[in-house]
């Protein structure tokens, strides 16, 4: 149960001179809808009172996000606005912070909040950040958030970006870092995509797995059942077969029993796994 007048007190503390007080008050305002006299239990339209209360809280949080001089306080406001998005005001405030804040952590937290509330067009926004010429840290975070978003509509554009970043990686370390993150996310998206998309993802990742020029891409992993490790493992053995001959790798022989047991538990292979199994031998030669 919320105390009467607590939201008004928190809103006043959001303008306190102590940044720690401001930070704590903004975190406490997240998700509230009782700011204003109507939220203190008076009569009138309860639904309208709640809407007005939410709007008042949104304005306090958006004001802090746009103007507080302490990055930690702006980050707290960005996190709190995740509960208010995708309402128009909070979404616009988060987009403005993601696009123009001076602190990279604030921009990253604003992007995270947009993903958490699945704001309209956030997938295209993340792709634009990843393809841009901004800080590498922000670009890689945007790519990682594409995995959290799990929007299959972004797969084709991310595949195109991954191929481009691989091509630029010889002379651009930032492109290599972004490509490493994209490899992980493509493994996630390929695991939930239909057969046609999964085949395209598998071909792209297998090609990267056999590219000896970039060991960083070969080592990328994603936790979970449909991991990049699974995507790379069948192709890696084929790469080895192209120059080692028919001899099976020793580590594969030791683990083959567990592989068979795991395979027996799966009644229907995922499209990505089927695409990997259909890949011909010796593609890395």
Distance (Å) of CA 238 to CA 207, 218, 235, 282, 284: 12, 14, 5, 6, 7
At residue 249, does pLDDT exceed 60?
no
Over the chain, what is the mean pLDDT? 79
**pTM of the predicted model, to two decimals?**
0.74
Please give the Cα distance from 65 to 59 (Å, whole number).
10
Lowest mean pLDDT among 20-24, 49-53, 76-80, 172-176: 49-53
Mean pLDDT to the nearest integer, 50-79: 93
Q: Residue 242: pLDDT band by 50, 70, 90 thresholds?
A: very low
Cis peptide before 86 (omega within 30 of 0): yes
Cα separation, 236 vs 210, in Å, equals 7
**pLDDT tens per residue, range 88-141:** 999 999 999 999 999 999 999 999 999 999 999 999 999 999 999 999 999 999
For residues 191 and 209, what is the distance between their CA atoms, to the nearest angstrom? 17
Give the start-to-end residue ranges of the domains of the chain. 1-37+49-97
CB atoms under 10 Å from CB of 170, counted, come to 11
Whats the size of the chain, residue-wise? 285
**What are the C-alpha distances in Å from 41 to residues 2, 12, 25, 54?**
11, 20, 22, 15
């Amino acid at each position: 149960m919320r105390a009467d007048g607590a939201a008004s007190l928190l809103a006043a503390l959001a303008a306190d001179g102590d940044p720690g007080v401001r930070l704590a008050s903004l975190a406490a305002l997240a998700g509230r809808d009782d700011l204003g006299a109507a939220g203190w239990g008076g009569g009138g339209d309860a639904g309208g009172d709640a809407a007005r209360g939410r709007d008042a809280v949104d304005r306090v949080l958006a004001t802090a996000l746009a103007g507080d001089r302490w990055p930690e306080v702006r980050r707290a406001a960005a996190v709190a606005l995740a509960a208010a998005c995708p309402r128009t005001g909070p979404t616009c405030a988060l987009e403005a912070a993601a696009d123009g804040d001076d602190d990279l952590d604030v921009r990253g937290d604003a992007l995270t909040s947009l993903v958490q509330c699945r704001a309209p067009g956030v997938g295209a926004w993340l792709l634009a950040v990843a393809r841009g010429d901004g800080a590498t840290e922000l670009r890689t975070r945007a790519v990682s958030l594409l995995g959290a978003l799990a929007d299959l509509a972004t797969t084709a554009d991310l595949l195109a970006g991954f191929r481009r970043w691989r091509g630029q990686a010889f002379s651009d370390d930032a492109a290599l870092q972004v490509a490493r993150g994209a490899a992980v996310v493509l493994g996630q998206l390929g695991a939930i995509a239909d057969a046609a998309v999964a085949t395209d993802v598998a071909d792209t990742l297998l090609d990267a797995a056999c590219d000896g020029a970039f060991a960083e891409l070969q080592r990328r992993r994603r936790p979970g059942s449909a991991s990049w490790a699974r995507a790379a493992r069948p192709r890696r053995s084929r790469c080895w077969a192209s120059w080692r001959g028919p001899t099976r790798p020793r580590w594969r022989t030791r683990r083959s029993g567990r592989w068979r047991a795991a395979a027996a538990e799966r009644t229907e292979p995922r499209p990505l796994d089927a695409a990997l199994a259909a890949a011909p031998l010796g593609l890395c030669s």
